[in-house]
């Protein structure tokens, strides 16, 4: 087992910057605005021949705000899981009352604490760290996380008395499942329900989740990586810079996922923003499962109206399974996993060239392509060009003139014949290169005279 190192401290001392530096990633959002990080963020670090798990946490504050209290609980949970704790302070700001309160709390937890003085770039290190001895954690370790200064020395100090055994990295993350939807539709609640613990913060305040949180899960011998993302609002309602970064992280998570679990609020119905988000997911080509949350407590008339709206407005994603669930009470949540596995299997299904060509020829025989300038479009053969989503490459002549309606017909035919559920089929058309297109036909004198007569006759 890899050792676990938790990063704690008051808001805006550089915990997320240090986390990104340790994990050589940009997994944690970084901003000058305090309180950016709320949930626990895990990442694997490999520095100075030492490998360990780093945990980024939200800032520890003494306010009684519900969201701050939930953030504090997440940080305390990370400390309990950790073998070592990095207590980060701001070398430029000096010791604050918040630092002293956090130090008193950490002393009661009986954990190995290392005091880290961040933002020491350009300072005299001896004078910068001198006052932090008063916190009672011994030698403060000066670093500049933004400039990656002092990080190898810090990691070497953490494990100087331990022999870290070589351990192979766990590259198999299983099925990457991204929870996507508008704010406050229950993405974090469903994440916690699947995990069976309060892993991410749940609050009725929209926009609680700001970062994309990656969480491993194993269920019935199948591995998953759950990705809880920030809610996506309409562009006109996004004003804060931090929320814009959250949107970027969510869109990146969609691209990184194998399957997207799109969540909607059943009580609000299918909104225009839901349709826009589904359109983006469809363009990305990701496998899709749809969950209508908050189904509990609805009357029979409300449920019938919701079903009618889904049938009417979600026809363009008819290939996806639609589930009605209650993330809060767990109703219908277990049924999601079978659809997720089915969608992933369809997205990664192996298709032979002979099978693809056979389906293409049968589709052409049933409905022939149209005539273009008096010539019939000819589709010769098809083969697979990629997976997740399945990409079918169709070869033929004049394919650049093929109508979009016929392209949709072919995609639906492949979808039906291959029995693909939960994943769109993408088609790419390629035409053969004409080896004579650059050769000019040189007419003889007799041919030129004949052409002139024909043109004169045509004008008459």
Domains identified in the chain and CATH numbers: 4-158 (3.40.50.300), 175-347 (3.40.50.300), 348-460 (3.30.300.20)
Q: What is the mean pLDDT of residues 179-187?
A: 85
* Mean per-residue pLDDT over the chain, rounded: 82
Share of the chain above pLDDT 90, in %: 21
User: Residue 456 in 3-state DSSP?
Assistant: helix
pLDDT at residue 102 is higher than 90: no
Lowest mean pLDDT, pick from 175-179, 198-202, 211-215, 381-385: 198-202
User: Residue 228 in 3-state DSSP?
Assistant: strand
Q: What is the pLDDT of residue 256?
A: 82
Q: What is the mean pLDDT of residues 110-127?
A: 87
Q: How confident is the model at residue 386 (pLDDT cuts 50, 70, 90)?
A: confident
Q: What is the pLDDT of residue 16?
A: 85
Q: How many residues does the chain have?
A: 460
pLDDT at residue 33 is higher than 60: no
Asked if residues 263 and 185 have their Cβ atoms less than 8 Å apart, the reply is yes
Higher pLDDT, 283 or 235: 283
Q: What is the mean pLDDT of residues 192-205?
A: 67
Q: What is the pLDDT of residue 246?
A: 58
Higher pLDDT, 232 or 64: 232
Asked if residues 42 and 22 have their Cβ atoms less than 8 Å apart, the reply is no
In 225-333, where does DSSP find H-type helix? Answer: 241-256, 272-284, 300-313
Q: What is the mean pLDDT of residues 120-124?
A: 86
Residue 310 — φ and ψ, nearest 5°? -65, -45
- pLDDT tens digits, residue range 8-25? 888 888 888 888 888 887
In 321-403, where does DSSP find H-type helix? Answer: 334-347, 353-366
pLDDT at residue 203 is higher than 70: no
Q: What is the mean pLDDT of residues 81-86?
A: 85
Q: What is the pLDDT of residue 200?
A: 61
Q: Six-digit token pair at 371?
A: 């005539």
- pLDDT tens digits, residue range 298-329? 889 999 999 998 999 998 888 999 999 998 88
Higher pLDDT, 67 or 327: 327
- pLDDT tens digits, residue range 135-153? 888 889 999 988 888 888 8
Q: What is the pLDDT of residue 284?
A: 84
Q: To the nearest 10°, the Cα dihedral for 336, 342, 343, 345?
A: 140
Task: Output the pTM of the full model.
Answer: 0.64
Question: Strands across the sheet with 426-431, in order?
Answer: 378-386, 391-397, 426-431
Tokens 């025989």 correspond to 365
The top-scoring range by mean pLDDT among 115-119, 277-281, 430-434 is 115-119
Q: How confident is the model at residue 211 (pLDDT cuts 50, 70, 90)?
A: low
Q: What is the mean pLDDT of residues 95-123?
A: 87
Q: How confident is the model at residue 169 (pLDDT cuts 50, 70, 90)?
A: very low
Lowest mean pLDDT, pick from 39-48, 143-152, 334-343, 370-379: 39-48
Q: How confident is the model at residue 170 (pLDDT cuts 50, 70, 90)?
A: very low
Distance CA 108, CA 88 (A): 17
pLDDT at residue 253 is higher than 70: yes
Q: Of 136, 154, 152, 232, whose CA–CA distance to 187 is shortest?
A: 232
pLDDT at residue 109 is higher than 90: no
Q: How confident is the model at residue 367 (pLDDT cuts 50, 70, 90)?
A: very high
Angle at 267 between CA 261 and CA 271, to 5 degrees: 65
Distance CA 207, CA 231 (A): 6
């Amino acid at each position: 087992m890899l050792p676990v190192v938790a990063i704690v401290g008051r808001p805006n001392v550089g915990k997320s910057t240090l986390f990104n530096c340790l994990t050589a990633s940009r997994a944690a959002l970084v901003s000058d605005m305090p309180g950016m990080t709320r949930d626990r963020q895990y990442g694997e670090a490999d520095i100075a021949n030492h490998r360990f798990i780093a945990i980024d946490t939200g800032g520890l504050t003494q306010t009684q705000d519900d969201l701050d209290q939930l953030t504090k609980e997440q940080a305390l949970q990370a400390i309990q899981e950790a073998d070592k704790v990095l207590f980060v302070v701001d070398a430029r700001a000096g010791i604050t009352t918040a630092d002293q309160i956090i130090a008193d709390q950490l002393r009661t937890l009986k954990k190995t604490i290392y005091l880290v003085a961040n933002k020491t770039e350009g300072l005299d290190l001896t004078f910068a760290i001198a006052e932090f001895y008063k916190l009672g954690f011994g030698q403060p370790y000066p670093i500049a996380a933004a400039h990656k200064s002092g990080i190898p020395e810090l990691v070497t100090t953490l494990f100087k008395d331990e022999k870290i055994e070589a351990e192979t990295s766990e590259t198999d993350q299983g099925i990457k499942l991204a929870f996507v939807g508008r704010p406050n539709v229950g993405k974090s609640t469903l994440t916690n329900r699947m995990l069976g613990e309060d892993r991410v913060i749940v609050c009725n305040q929209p926009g609680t989740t700001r970062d994309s949180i990656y969480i491993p899960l194993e269920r019935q011998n199948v591995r998953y990586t759950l990705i809880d993302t920030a809610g996506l609002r309409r562009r006109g309602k996004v004003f804060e810079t931090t929320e814009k970064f959250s949107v970027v992280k969510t869109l990146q998570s969609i691209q990184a996922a194998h399957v997207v679990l799109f969540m909607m609020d059943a009580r609000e119905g299918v909104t225009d923003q839901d349709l826009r988000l589904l359109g983006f997911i469809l363009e990305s080509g990701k496998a899709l499962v749809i969950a209508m949350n908050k189904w509990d407590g609805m009357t029979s008339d409300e449920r019938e109206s919701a079903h009618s709206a889904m049938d009417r407005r979600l026809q363009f994603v008819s290939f996806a399974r639609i589930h009605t669930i209650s993330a809060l009470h767990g109703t219908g949540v277990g049924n999601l996993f079978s659809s997720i596995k089915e969608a992933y299997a369809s997205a990664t299904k192996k298709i032979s060239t002979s099978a693809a060509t056979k389906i293409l020829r049968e589709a052409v025989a049933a409905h022939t392509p149209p005539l273009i300038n008096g010539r019939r479009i000819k589709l010769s053969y098809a083969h697979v060009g990629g997976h997740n989503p399945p990409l079918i490459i169709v070869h033929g002549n004049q394919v650049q003139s093929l109508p979009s309606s016929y392209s949709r017909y072919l995609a639906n035919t492949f979808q039906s014949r291959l029995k693909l559920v939960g994943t769109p089929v993408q088609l790419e058309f390629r035409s053969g290169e004409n080896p004579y297109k650059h050769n000019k036909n040189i007419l003889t004198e007799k041919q030129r005279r004949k052409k002139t007569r024909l043109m004169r006759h045509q004008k008459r």
